[in-house]
Chain A
């Protein structure tokens, strides 16, 4: 047994040590072969995950690579590849894609599976009708999965009968494929994520994507060399779906955001801007990073510099694309970077597994890799011309659908950092700070316009979460009257819906089946507003008691002290937490409450 587990450990370490992107097939293959033989479901520190893969093509080799990439994302997975040709049959009922059998699934669509290809000579109208029919067919099948599902959309056919028109005009097969993928992307339920197979083909390269000989041999159309990238992409999408998307991009400064060392070369000595090739590359990288920030990635700086030296380019260099206000947390000192990354995570109220670290210096990267394995370290190339590609292909920030919350996230984390700094400074008047933000809590109507966000927030929250139960859109809508969803806004921004309680009244008790709150609003006393709302609801149902169903997990350790502070008491580890619906009011919250529910 002892040798067995040390063998297992050796291969897990090898898998985690792979530099992606940048690993060579020679390094990947032995690890894939070894992991295939090993049971990862019960490995300490890995989240167990039972995964099914369904496709009409052979998915066995892909399954082996998925196991590796899942491990790199913190999952100890068993990956069960379905039979060749088993996609439709499996979805129709041969395979039960429910939580009893698996925790997640990958559906691999392939252009050879197209059911209603447009006949040559189809009119635009006929072609559109066929797309509709095709999309309806697949969506009704995919919806049969009752677990989080990643769908690899249809890949583009390698041959184009209608030449350049094939992908561009209605009636072409390529156009049909593109149109269906767009329909799938916009119509699939919130428990699925879709991978844009055409973009994946483009990244892998057409020559490496298709291996016609392999398809004839064993019905796998992709070349073996394409498998790591396919698995990497599918797993990134699943990580996003399971609430494990990373949130923060931590950037080094010297030779990462500009060329040279600002402390040595001086403000005018650094290379940044359109004058030189490298200067242009650094500016281009900053532009990409700024766009990431615009869609919800939080930016932090971690630099070995004196702070005023590090901030000077942001303030005074005309070539800087990033501005100080884009950075939620700015750390410049001479501490080691592992400590500083811990500090950044604490300041932003996030786990280390939310961080992505970008640094041109291989020594710093290697230090962070070994000290903080939870942090994703991007393997940066030497030439800044390739920085954007390296970060983009790391796929660190999977996005299922852009939400209003994503757009405002940067600002809310800047407030969190300010909040942390204010509470760290002695003598700051926290009450005055909070009320100065002029917060307003909107108790939202639970209906079609809010249900997506409610389902998503319950699924994605880890820390402030009573237990692991999640709810479907239908369940939320059915109990809408007893679901409390609170949106927070203040003078700086609108945070969207950030707190939810799902309750069930009965027998004089308002049972809280789950209660979640986004970590973005920790410290804002929104929990007091929720309690106040729950107490009002309880009384309107004639309940005298409020009961929270709390199951301790690795991540929700912050809850018991908060519940206690809110006046809840529990008689033991697995006993529910209860408090009276009457009694004294909780602590002040300084919020204006606006009830937007239908009366």
Chain B
């Protein structure tokens, strides 16, 4: 996968939020939390992270997924994982 910016990762996260909550005008910021979006519970959160993992072709650790409190943290963890995996694939080539 070519390098993604942190903003692009958050864009993908936003896409998935929109699908899961059926709201095409949903806008995420780093400080968005479960309190801001009705229906965002722990099961939905896991579903969202898993969908992101698949889209970005990365895998987080269970303890990282559990600890994610807001959109900023979700984005950062996913972004870090993307970078790590693309560095790995750079080394591979």
Contact of B92 with A by CB under 8 A: no
A213 and B61 alpha carbons, distance in the complex (Å): 8
A307: CB under 8 A from chain B?
Answer: no
Please provide the chain B residues from 26 to 54 with a CB less than 8 Å away from any CB of chain A in the complex: 42-43, 46-47, 50-51, 54
Bound-complex Cα distance A58 to B62 (A):
17
Instruction: Provide the residues of chain B in CB contact with A216, threshold 8 Å.
Output: 62
Per the bound structure, the CA–CA distance linking A224 and B48 in Å amounts to: 11
Cross-chain contact A214 with B51 (CB below 8 angstroms): no
Near A by CB (< 8 A), chain B positions 41-78 give: 42-43, 46-47, 50-51, 54, 61-62, 65-66
Restricting to A39-69, which residues have a CB under 8 Å from any CB of B?
58, 60-61
Q: Is the CB of A61 within 8 A of B47?
A: yes
**When the two chains form their complex, are residues B43 and A61 in contact, meaning their CB atoms are under 8 A apart?**
yes
By DSSP majority rule, is chain B's interface helix, strand, loop, or mixed? helix
Q: Which of A29-37, A131-139, A254-262, A327-335 contacts B (4 or more CB under 8 A)?
A: A29-37
Nearest-neighbour CB distance to chain A for B14, whole angstroms, equals 15
A residues 560-588 in Cβ contact with B at 8 Å: none
What's the count of A-B pairs with C-beta under 8 Å? 28
What does the 1/0 interface line of A324-361 toward B look like (CB < 8 Å)?
00000000000000000000000000000000000000
Cβ A224 vs Cβ B47 within 8 A: yes
Is A33 touching B20 in the complex (CB atoms < 8 A)? yes
A218 at the interface (CB under 8 A from B): yes
Q: Is the CB of A218 within 8 A of B50?
A: no
| Bound Cα distance from A25 to B16, whole angstroms | 14
Q: Are A218 and B42 in contact (CB-based, < 8 A)?
A: yes
Given contacts A61-B47, A217-B65, A224-B50, contact A30 B42 (CB under 8 A): no
A150 to B33, CA, bound (A): 39
Give A217 to B54 CA distance when docked, in angstroms.
17
The residues of B that contact A61 with a CB separation of less than 8 Å are 43, 47
Q: Check if A217 sits within 8 Å of B20, measured CB to CB.
A: no
Cβ of B5 within 8 Å of any chain A Cβ, yes or no, is: no
Residues of B within 8 A of A30 (CB): 19
Closest to B16 in A: A29
The yes or no answer to B22 lying at the interface (CB within 8 A) is: yes
On chain A, the residues within 8 Å of B21 by CB distance are 33
Q: Are B66 and A33 in contact (CB under 8 A)?
A: no
Contact: B19 with A60, CB < 8 Å? no
Docked CA distance A33–B51 (Å): 12
Chain B residues positioned under 8 Å from A37 (CB to CB) = 22
Assembled-state Cα–Cα distance A25/B42 (Å): 22
Q: Which residue of chain B lies nearest to A11 when distances are taken between CB atoms in the complex?
A: B22
Provide the bound-state CA to CA distance between A58 and B46, in Å: 13
Specify the chain A residue showing the minimal Cβ separation from B19.
Answer: A30
State the Cβ distance, B48 to closest chain A Cβ, in Å. Answer: 10
Instruction: Assess whether B62 is in contact with A213, with CB atoms less than 8 Å apart.
Output: yes
Partner of B62 from A25, A33, A217, A224 at Cβ < 8 Å = A217
In the complex the two chains form, is B66's CB within 8 Å of A217's CB?
yes
CA distance A30 to B15 in the complex (A): 11
Q: Quote the shortest CB–CB distance from A403 to chain B (angstroms).
A: 42
Considering the complex, give the chain A residue whose CB is closest to the CB of B54. A25
Q: Give the docked Cα–Cα distance between A34 and B43 (Å).
A: 16
CB nearest to A213 among chain B residues: B62
How far, in whole Å, are A181 and B66 apart by their CA atoms in the complex?
35
In the complex, the answer to whether A217 meets B22 with C-beta atoms within 8 Å is no
Q: Which of A33, A218, A224 contacts B22 (CB 8 A)?
A: A33
CB neighbours of A218 from chain B (8 A): 42-43, 46
Residue of B51, B61, B66 near A29 (CB, 8 A) is B51
User: What is the CA–CA distance of A214 and B21 in the complex, to the nearest angstrom?
Assistant: 21
Contact: B46 with A214, CB < 8 Å?
Answer: yes
Measured CA separation A37–B20 after assembly (Å)? 10
Name the distance in Å between A70's Cβ and chain B's nearest Cβ.
Answer: 20
Q: Which residue of A lies closest to B55 (CB)?
A: A26
Bound Cα distance A29, B47 (Å): 10
User: Is the Cβ of B43 less than 8 Å from the Cβ of A60?
Assistant: yes
Task: For residue A542, give the distance in angstroms from its CB to the closest CB of chain B.
Answer: 64
Residues of A within 8 A of B47 (CB): 61, 224
CA–CA, A224 to B44, complex, Å?
13
Quick check: B22 and A34 within 8 Å, CB to CB? Answer: yes
Residues of A within 8 A of B42 (CB): 218
CA distance A58 to B19 in the complex (A): 22
**Interfacial chain B residues near A29, Cβ < 8 Å:** 19, 51
Question: How distant is the Cα of A515 from the Cα of B47 in the complex, in angstroms?
Answer: 49
Chain B residues whose CB sits within 8 angstroms of the CB of A217 once the complex forms: 46, 62, 65-66
Q: Tell me which residues across on chain A come within 8 A of B62, comparing CB atoms.
A: 213, 216-217
Q: How far is the CA of A372 from the CA of B58 in the complex (A)?
A: 42
A201-230: which residues lie under 8 A (CB-CB) from chain B?
A: 213-214, 216-218, 224
Q: How far is the CB of B4 from the nearest CB of chain A, in Å?
A: 19
A434-450, CB under 8 A of B: which get 1 and which 0?
00000000000000000
With contacts A216-B62, A217-B62, A224-B50 known, is A58 near B20, CB below 8 A? Answer: no
Residues of B within 8 A of A214 (CB): 46, 50
A426 to B35, CA, bound (A): 75
How many whole Å from B16's CB to the nearest CB in chain A? 9
Question: Could you list which residues of chain B lie within 8 angstroms of chain A, going by C-beta atoms?
Answer: 19-22, 42-43, 46-47, 50-51, 54, 61-62, 65-66
Given contacts A217-B46, A224-B50, 18 further A-B contacts (CB under 8 A): A25-B54, A29-B19, A30-B19, A33-B20, A33-B21, A33-B22, A34-B22, A61-B47, A213-B61, A213-B62, A214-B46, A214-B50, A216-B62, A217-B62, A217-B65, A217-B66, A218-B42, A218-B46
Please name 23 pairs of A and B residues whose Cβ atoms are closer than 8 Å in the assembled complex, sorted by A: A25-B54, A29-B51, A30-B19, A33-B19, A33-B20, A33-B21, A33-B22, A34-B22, A37-B22, A58-B43, A60-B43, A61-B47, A213-B61, A214-B46, A214-B50, A217-B46, A217-B62, A217-B66, A218-B42, A218-B43, A218-B46, A224-B47, A224-B50
